[in-house]
Structure 1
Amino acid sequence: MSFSLLWPLGVVSSWLLLSFLPTGSLVDRIFVALATISVSWIFLAKWFQANNPSLYPRAGNSVEDISNDSDPDYHPSSPDDAFQVRRCLLNFLPPELVNTILDEAEYWPRIRSTRNQLLVVHASSSSDNNASLRCLVTPPFPASQALGGPSARLRVKRVKFDIVSNDQGWGGDLQDHGTYNGSYTWFEAVILRRAPQPEGRRLSPARPLFEVTNQDGCSRWLVQTNRCATVQAETHSIVWQADGMETASGHDREENGSGDGAGFIELLAPEDRIAIVARARFPGWVNCVRSVSVVVYYAV
């Protein structure tokens, strides 16, 4: 959330609470309003800290490391931090308002996975000239117990992909060069899930991972396509939001080569993993993967 929106959140919320809180004395209502303002200023302080790292150096990190962070917005360092803030707010506010405050502030724990190693995928490495190789797998998401109980639901809010890649730099139709049309190197996202634990057995061998499918029976979602016949590496940032949340980045396969991830976030569950698969199809096509990063934001 931007600087200009943080402090009005506290003021507006407080005014609404004072005006419409149906029960409680005036003193109680003022106390709740002050608590809301305090929380808003906490978010403001965290925002200022994240955007002015030189004034708040962290132990074990250089100022350069912090200032070069590609995602400077503040996020709780662990789910416990988010739980503590949530429990504090629930002492004074209804759950619906607490959820709104935390979501508006984007105060979400996150899981980040990065691979910064060159990986070259040749279509010809597959017998049918249709190569597929996992280039990144995230750690498992928190288990249900860590999210609040056996029946807790994982509420992923956003998944952000950053990919630096290019193809072999030649081939295809001349009219498609430099565009996303006629390109046969791309990336897909996969949801990996453990097979269910057999009933009546406390200990069992490691359960295999399987690819989760959507209602259409598809287990892979297009993330990004490389530009056709372009040897220069390019950085693509793709953001998928939870259903109902707006996103500033458009998804148009012809215009920017990205997929919209429809239904992907809604299928994610506790202990799932996300895999990024690099693809190359037809003889001569090569997917040169420079780096891949996945950041998953979720609410508690």
Structure 2
Amino acid sequence: MIDLFDIALFFLVAIILIPRIFSTNERTTNTSTIPIMINRRGGVTIPRRRGPIAPAPGRHDEQEPSTPSSLYEPRPEDIIEVKDILSKVSNMPPELVDMILDRAEYWACAATVIDYSNNPQRKITILGAYPAEDQFLLRTEPLGLTKWSRSNRDLWRVESAPKRLKKEYAESDLQELVDGSFSSLEHPFRKVVFDIVSCDQGWSGDRENHGRYTGSWTWFDVGLERFDQENDCVSECPDHLGSEDAEKTPSIPTCAIRPIWPPLEEVDAGGALMRYHHELLPNQGRLIQLNKHAEGNFQHYHVEWSWDDDVEPESAAAQTLEDAGRGTGTGNGAFLKNLKLGDMITVWGHARFPGWTNNVQKVEVKVYWAF
């Protein structure tokens, strides 16, 4: 039987979106030889429906992700306008409007990319058994905080200071940095997409596992950061002095960012000094992707996590994730369900043991949320 609700949804959303779908926004392309972490707000016209949690074997060597120079991307204000139209035309309650837009996957999106292809070597190399065998690569914008902007670009490019989070901001306080009202859905953050172009050193003595993910010692982890309400930021703080626009200094400075993951450990007995604690082996709940073992050509890894994924870590289905080089604990939707307003997602690259190198050319993260 035809669902009348779906028919009404299709025509209503089509009438609102068609004029926007055939419009374009101009985008500038960075051509600097210095890799710059680029954060951009927006999203694809309508995100494609979720595919398999893990792709079929042999599907990782695709062409690297492209960055279109001209593409319509709905902005948060576009979504607010659509919500207003739906509410006024049909007198629907806000909760029902949120459900309709969510079913259409008309989501806001934050995209972040770091690209090393303009470097002389067209990559960066993370060396196992060296002090820098764990490297911070990028962070997303604070999720949902459409009115927030970074001040000091230098602080934004590097890992946050290893300080413990003392007090999280209340959601009511963060709501002041949101255009309009935030989604009423229980889990508003719906999907995160990772696109990674990388490879290892291209050789190893373990010939049996060449071309597989077994025995691979280079990988990428997801991290998480939040703002600390008890951050002490003095007037001469470089976060303020280095502001890109003195009149738009954010109410929450960049120096207030605190790591949730990776965790911290004490350097001294008193705990006055802290440092990041990186595990020797990949954490299966945080592992985005292993590099293919002894594959010297750059590979494009496309990884999607969704809030409604349902592969439990200890189930037989988790073997599919492991066979694709992914964390067996990343297929149950927990990461998306636990995200909060204002969270920042980070990506870390790792290499372990002498001879292993993680060659990174490009990393892009897109986070979609119901607005």
TM-score by length of 2: 0.57
Residue 292 of structure 1 and its aligned partner are, at CA, apart by 0.3
Q: Deviations over 1:108-138 (max 9, x none)?
A: 1110001111221001222xxx821111112
Paired residue for 1:161?
A: 194
Paired residue for 1:195?
A: 228
- More deviation, 223-232/172-181: 172-181
Does the alignment pair 1:144 with 2:168? Answer: no
C-alpha distance in structure 1 between counterparts of 2:142 and 2:293, whole Å: 34
More helix by share: 1
Does the alignment pair 1:257 with 2:256? Answer: no
- Size of the aligned set, in residue pairs, is 251
Q: Deviations over 1:62-82 (max 9, x none)?
A: 9xxx9x656999641x22221
Paired residue for 2:352?
A: 281
Q: 1:122 aligns with which of 122, 127, 138?
A: 127
Does the alignment pair 1:41 with 2:21? Answer: no
C-alpha distance in structure 1 between counterparts of 2:309 and 2:357, whole Å: 37
Q: Deviations over 1:245-271 (max 9, x none)?
A: 89xxx9834321123354211221122
Q: Which amino acid aligns with 1:99?
A: D
Paired residue for 1:290?
A: 361
C-alpha distance in structure 2 between counterparts of 1:235 and 1:37, whole Å: 37
Q: Does structure 2 conserve the Cα–Cα contact (< 8 Å) formed by 1:211 and 1:219?
A: no
Paired residue for 1:52?
A: none
C-alpha distance in structure 2 between counterparts of 1:59 and 1:151, whole Å: 28
Aligned in 2, Cα 1:181/1:72: closer, same or farther, shift over 3 Å?
farther
Q: Does structure 1 conserve the Cα–Cα contact (< 8 Å) formed by 2:16 and 2:82?
A: no
**SS of residue in 2 equivalent to 1:182:** coil
Q: 1:235 aligns with which of 290, 294, 300?
A: 300
**Matched ranges for 1:170-181 at <5 A:** 170-181=203-214
Does the alignment pair 1:222 with 2:287? Answer: yes
Q: Does structure 1 conserve the Cα–Cα contact (< 8 Å) formed by 2:211 and 2:293?
A: yes
Aligned in 2, Cα 1:204/1:193: closer, same or farther, shift over 3 Å?
closer
Q: Which amino acid aligns with 2:229?
A: P
Q: Does structure 2 conserve the Cα–Cα contact (< 8 Å) formed by 1:172 and 1:228?
A: no
- More deviation, 172-181/141-150: 141-150
Aligned in 2, Cα 1:238/1:204: closer, same or farther, shift over 3 Å?
closer
Task: Mark the structure with the bigger radius of gyration.
Answer: 1
TM-score by length of 1: 0.70
**SS of residue in 2 equivalent to 1:135:** strand
C-alpha distance in structure 1 between counterparts of 2:368 and 2:141, whole Å: 13
Q: Does structure 2 conserve the Cα–Cα contact (< 8 Å) formed by 1:167 and 1:230?
A: yes
C-alpha distance in structure 2 between counterparts of 1:71 and 1:258, whole Å: 31
Residue 243 of structure 1 and its aligned partner are, at CA, apart by 2.8
Q: Deviations over 1:42-92 (max 9, x none)?
A: 335545x2xxxxxx5545679xxx9x656999641x222212211221232
Residue 147 of structure 1 and its aligned partner are, at CA, apart by 5.7
**SS of residue in 2 equivalent to 1:106:** coil
Residue 294 of structure 1 and its aligned partner are, at CA, apart by 0.2
